[in-house]
Structure 1
Amino acid sequence: MMVSTLLLLLLAGQQAEPATAPSPPPAKEKQICRNEETTGSRMGGRRVCRTKEQWDAISANARKTMDDAMTRSPAPSVR
Structure 2
Amino acid sequence: MIVFLIAGLLATAAQTAPAPAPTDAAPKPEKRVCRSETATGSTIPKRICHTKAEWAQIESDNARNVDAVRNRAPSR
Q: Tell me what 2:32 maps to.
A: 31
Structure 2 residues not aligned, in runs of 5+ = 1-20
Structure 1 residues not aligned, in runs of 5+ = 1-20, 75-79
Structure 1 residue ranges (4+ consecutive) displaced by more than 3 angstroms after TM superposition: none
Q: Tell me what 1:61 maps to.
A: 61
Aligned-residue CA RMSD in angstroms?
1.8
SS at match of 1:55: helix
Q: How far apart in 2 are the matches of 1:46 and 1:37? A: 6
Identical pairs, percent: 38
Greater Rg over alpha carbons, structure: 1
Number of residue pairs the alignment of both structures matches: 54
TM-score, normalised with respect to structure 2: 0.61
1:1-79 paired onto structure 2 within 5 Å: 22=22, 23-42=24-43, 44-74=44-74
Q: How far apart in 2 are the matches of 1:57 and 1:24? A: 27
